[in-house]
Chain A
């Protein structure tokens, strides 16, 4: 009884395996994978644009809530997306591995026997009483056919590399998928904003955000340190578009060793093993000095502001929790100042040619102890009262009653993206092999040609078979026939 059930279970499993690795299922999964990646290109994705996802939620709370249940805001990390590609992956392995073994066994094997009746084959021709099988064999070998010679016939085949290329392609896809998995599980990726003049040490606490792969240890970060020496942005004078960014750093690896100067550009990251350091974004940090009523300095230094438009009008917040009462500023930094009646102050060029700092001063509770995490770039003014508003040029000060703030100058900041992806090289290798395999597979013509002594003994039958309907068989058979006729007329 239980034996039968076991048999049934085994049969069912085998049936399922056969279904999964069948070509129809693979095709369906392939199309499904394509369809499944569509929503991620239409709805905002958390991994790319968390702000937009937020906006979606505030615009359509119930809809967004339901969409979120189906992971429509993180499609590419969702279980249902993973389910499709894992099934495809299994299908691929189940389909390709057995074929690989089959193919390996066939190395050096002879072509299959000549079929009984050639009449039904393509390009069937009868060559009257002339050339011999020897001539045919010679011709076929010269044209790199594998030849199987029997007493009254020859069976020849060419183009085995088509299957080799095909298998190489599919095996390379498996390699790419594995490489992606390795990168995700053993890699890390993080970002840090660093002002010019500051030093960045590669430890988790130096990052603004950092994500680790599931199996990567925190101590595994490369122990380098970078000091930002200089950052130069060049802009096109007519279009205002950036034309070049050059970041110069003093790099120590490991931190504390002698520094050497390195240049990082967009498209030219700094590399330490599988870790790369990219220049990802840049902006301005106005430098300010804040004094209290007694004239004591309570804050001095650069404050990172975030760019809001192509001309780098930037906004940010300066928070002074230690002053009593607490003071905060909402700020706007304009690198090249202009002013209009409708827009107020705005920037006309991204370089800091004529900078201004616009500040509104607030007094009250900064809300830093409320327990809710707060953005350092925004001031929560809900529990504060406004003291005043002032526009400053470099060197000018603003006395806001409880103290004064001076606009000392500005610094550039750069956003470094630091990525460790140990799977990357394997993915590249897989990609190269995939293209090679594909080309071999798609451009190789696979075909068979048979030559057989006619039952009458007075003629040769020639025929062929082109796999996948590749063209050129007729011509090749015609050439062979011509070769046969040639020797016939000579001998």
Chain B
């Protein structure tokens, strides 16, 4: 096949993945909304939460369809990313469109991985929304035709650095989803009992632990990504660290997560404060991706915009 055929194939695969993620989104939405049902209440009885019940046996199937679609979407997206790489004869992360589709891949991969280990199906809804938003923006706003790389990007370290960074990003964002869920539920519980739809979600303690574990799991990978970036910078620009905005924010993210780990492990922060710190650290990563890529100036201007 020629480059152009691969490029078309890649685009079609990405569109198909989006369609499948949309189905996944609806399946998860149905799972959540239709499992709530009102028990017939005798007139005059309290209409508090106990009157509404969650019955997941009714939406089991919908939830399973959701997971199946998330898996299928992941596979399609994976194929789309590979085809994009084949069309350009290089690793598929040379501009912001490609970072985005690969990032969405990493994010949904992280979700599926975590799903296999923990009871996380409840995260399917926000994950599907996030993936759809990322792919949608990518294909409408950030799309660039497939093209070879400029000389500075031709390096094995680029492949290593960017894949490590994207994978870490996927897990950081997942940890952010968990921390955000923690904060929402915490707020709800402090005002009284959980709302019906939230009753099935894990306990606050589980969420707190999960966020920590995700971060502890990828922090070494992120450290490695930053170092691989430094090695690449050394061979391309003659300086392994030049405080370029992109580097600076990668450093800030690193420091923020190190602070999070210290706060938890050595000072013993738990719960609300830890979740806020986790959210803060994750947002420095997002900020780096969105703001610095598009509006920042510096040596890292490869977004292709």
Contact = CB atoms under 8 A, between A and B. Distances in A.
Whether chain B is bound by chain A comes out as yes
Interface of A: 23-24, 26-27, 30-31, 33-34, 37-38, 40-42, 44-45, 47-49, 52, 75-76, 180, 189, 236, 238-239, 241-245, 265-269, 276, 278, 280, 417, 419, 421, 424, 427-428, 431-432, 434-435, 438-439, 442, 468-469
Interface string B233-256: 011111111111100110110011
A31 B256 CA distance: 7
Interface string B198-209: 000000000001
B220 A266 contact: no
Contact of A438 (B219, B284, B296, B297): B219
B243, B249, B262 interface centre (most CB from chain A within 10 Å): B243
Interface in B96-155: 147-152, 154-155
A243 B252 contact: no
A27 B263 contact: yes
Going nearest first, the 8 A-B pairs with the smallest beta carbon separation are: A34-B255, A41-B245, A266-B151, A278-B238, A41-B248, A431-B227, A438-B220, A34-B252
Interface of B: 147-152, 154-155, 209, 216-217, 219-220, 223-224, 227, 230-232, 234-245, 248-249, 251-252, 255-256, 258-259, 262-263, 265-267, 284, 292, 296-298
B150 A48 contact: no
Contacts of A40: 243, 248
Contacts of A47: 242-243
B252 A438 contact: no
B259 A431 contact: no
B120 to A, nearest CB: 16
A27 B235 CA distance: 33
Given A424-B240, A469-B209, A268 B235 contact: yes
Contacts of A419: 238-239
Contacts of A417: 237-238
Given A41-B296, A267-B236, A442-B219, A27 B259 contact: yes
A48 B243 contact: yes
Contacts of B217: 442
A33 B154 contact: no
B248 A438 contact: no
B38 to A, nearest CB: 38
Contacts of B245: 41-42
A427 B240 contact: yes
A416 to B, nearest CB: 10
Contact of B151 (A31, A52, A239, A245): A245
Given A41-B249, A265-B151, A438-B223, 20 more contacts: A27-B259, A30-B262, A31-B259, A37-B248, A41-B296, A47-B243, A52-B297, A243-B151, A245-B151, A266-B152, A266-B236, A267-B155, A278-B238, A421-B240, A434-B227, A435-B223, A435-B227, A442-B216, A442-B219, A469-B209
Contacts, number: 118
Contact of A280 (B219, B238, B251, B267): B238
Contact of B262 (A23, A75, A244, A276): A23
B113 to A, nearest CB: 16
A278 B258 CA distance: 34
B244, B248, B267 interface centre (most CB from chain A within 10 Å): B248
A34 B256 contact: yes
B296 A236 contact: no
Contacts of A269: 235, 238
B150 A243 contact: yes
17 contacts: A34-B251, A37-B251, A41-B245, A44-B297, A243-B148, A243-B151, A244-B154, A245-B151, A268-B235, A278-B237, A417-B238, A439-B220, A442-B216, A442-B217, A442-B220, A468-B265, A469-B209
A241 to B, nearest CB: 6
A27 B257 CA distance: 11
Contact of A26 (B152, B224, B262): B262
Nearest to A77: B243
A241 B147 contact: yes
A303 B203 CA distance: 72
Contacts of B265: 468
A435 B220 contact: yes
Contacts of A265: 151
Contact of B147 (A38, A189, A236): A236
Contacts of A280: 237-238
Given A41-B296, A268-B235, A280-B238, A236 B262 contact: no
Contact of B298 (A26, A48, A243, A245): A48
A23 B258 CA distance: 12
A468 B149 CA distance: 45
B159 to A, nearest CB: 12
A368 B155 CA distance: 45
Nearest to B256: A34
A180, A419, A432 interface centre (most CB from chain B within 10 Å): A419
A438 B220 CA distance: 6
A431 B243 contact: no
Contacts of A33: 255
A424 B234 contact: yes
Contact of A31 (B240, B242, B255): B255
B230 to A, nearest CB: 7
Contacts of B148: 236, 241, 243
A432 B226 CA distance: 12
B267 A38 contact: no
Nearest to B266: A23
B219 to A, nearest CB: 7
A428 B219 CA distance: 18
B151 A244 contact: yes
A47 B266 CA distance: 37
A428 B233 CA distance: 13
Given A37-B243, A267-B155, A419-B239, A431 B263 contact: no
Contacts of B223: 434-435, 438
Contacts of B227: 431-432, 434-435
B284 to A, nearest CB: 8
Nearest to B255: A34
Contact of B252 (A37, A442, A468): A37
A267 B292 contact: no
A431 to B, nearest CB: 4
B238 A242 contact: no
B243 to A, nearest CB: 5
A72 to B, nearest CB: 13
B276 to A, nearest CB: 12
Nearest to A31: B259
B292 A41 contact: yes
A428 B231 contact: yes
Contacts of A52: 297
Contacts of B284: 34
Contact of A239 (B147, B242, B258): B147
B233 to A, nearest CB: 10
Contacts of B262: 23, 26-27, 30
Nearest to B261: A442
A266 B248 contact: no
